[in-house]
Structure 1
Amino acid sequence: MSGPQILVDADACPVKDEVVRVAERHGLPVTFVSNGGVRPSRDPMIRNVVVPKEKADAADDWIVENAKANDIVVTADIPLAARAVALGAHVLGPTGRPFTPETIGMAVAMRDLKQHLRETGESKGYNAGFTREDRSRFLGELDRILRRAIRAAG
């Protein structure tokens, strides 16, 4: 069995550098998937995949088609997180929030409720800013998840 890989929904991901740092420490490959705008790396463990801009969910689809159980997926996109959790992947949001089989249902329900409130004008839909605490929580959680994935693959 090969080890886990890290797949990152890279468009607007605020923790790309952190992913690379933790992946290097564990010797794991990282694939950044976006519809452009991610700077290339000379590191052979880092791969950039650019998907067509014309298809709204092209990056999500690529990640789901290439992720397998025990891989790590980094995304803030709740529908993508649900699809990756269904594959058996470890899924982590950029704020350090893990999405698990136990929590994904509520995350999807909350996303749908917030979308409904925005559509009806009940909510302006402002997202909280990304904080230093979010970054720190992400680093700790990613390290924890990677250790678990490596043990499971071993």
Structure 2
Amino acid sequence: MPELMNIESEHVMLFVDADSCPRQLRSIILKAVISRKVPVLFAADRPLPDVVDLVQNDGVKPEQLPLIQLAIVPEGMDSADDFLVEKARAGMLAITRDVILADRLATKDLVVLDDRGGVFTKETIRERLSMRNLMTALREQGVFAEKTKPLGPREIHQFANALDRELVKLQKNNQ
């Protein structure tokens, strides 16, 4: 089993909230970071066998493994989120479905992607956060029952395109 716990966040360019990231998107992320040679840090409060399996089964060469890091944080409310906020640096890229975490990361000047390919910056996240808060209030009052649409081929394609676009920008800005 490859060593994925060597956390050297000063070289990481992509931070992934792996607790909230669907398995099929983690696969896309892994393939993208390997092909573009972009260091990634997955953070979760539990082991992610699919990350290790994808590394082992997709023919990743040993010299590519330093690109992929997996941090298993202690279980607890927002433990992976807090870890990512602590490690993340301005100008980098993050992936999360969690709007509150997206706001915390965008405030640190990261570009944040959601699982549908939405791109948020500190200038654009406030609107999304306000919408989330409104929907939460409506749900709590029984006025609105939000149903998240399943992640289909269209959404996966949009995510993959947005990830590729943002990785190109990230690499260009960090040359």
- TM class, shorter-chain normalised? over 0.9
Name the % identity. Answer: 30
- 3-state secondary structure, aligned to 2:70: strand
Q: Determine the structure 1 residue equivalent to 2:67.
A: 45
Q: After superposition, what is the alpha-carbon deviation per residue over 1:43-79, rounded to whole angstroms, capped at 9, x for unaligned?
A: 33211111111x2011111001000012110001001
Work out whether residues 12 and 40 of structure 2, in 8 Å CA contact, stay in contact via their aligned partners in 1: no
- The alpha carbon displacement at 1:101 in A equals 2.5
The structure 1 segments of at least 4 consecutive aligned residues displaced by more than 6 Å after TM superposition are none
Which string of whole-angstrom CA distances, capped at 9 and with x for unpartnered residues, describes residues 92-122 of structure 1? 0011011122320110000001110111111
Q: CA RMSD in A?
A: 1.5
Task: Choose from 3, 6, 9 the match for 2:17.
Answer: 9
Residue 93 of structure 2 is matched in structure 1 by: 72
Write the deviation string for residues 131-154 of structure 1: whole angstroms up to 9, x where unpaired: 111111111111111111111111
Is 1:136 the counterpart of 2:152? The answer is no
Bigger drift between 124-133 and 73-82 goes to: 124-133
Amino acid at match of 1:25: S
3-state SS, counterpart of residue 44 of structure 1: helix
TM-score using structure 1 length? 0.92
Partner of residue 31 from structure 1, selected from 18, 34, 41:
41
**Structure with greater helix share of residues:** 2
> Mind listing any 5+ residue stretches in structure 2 that lack a counterpart?
1-9, 57-64
CA distance in 2, matches of 1:140, 1:33: 23
Instruction: List runs of 5+ in structure 1 lacking aligned partners.
Output: none
User: TM-score with structure 2 length normalisation?
Assistant: 0.82
SS at match of 1:69: coil
Return the offset for 1:91. Answer: 0.6
Q: Aligned pair count?
A: 152
Deviates more, 1:38-47 or 1:13-22: 38-47
CA contact (8 A) 1:4 1:150 kept: no
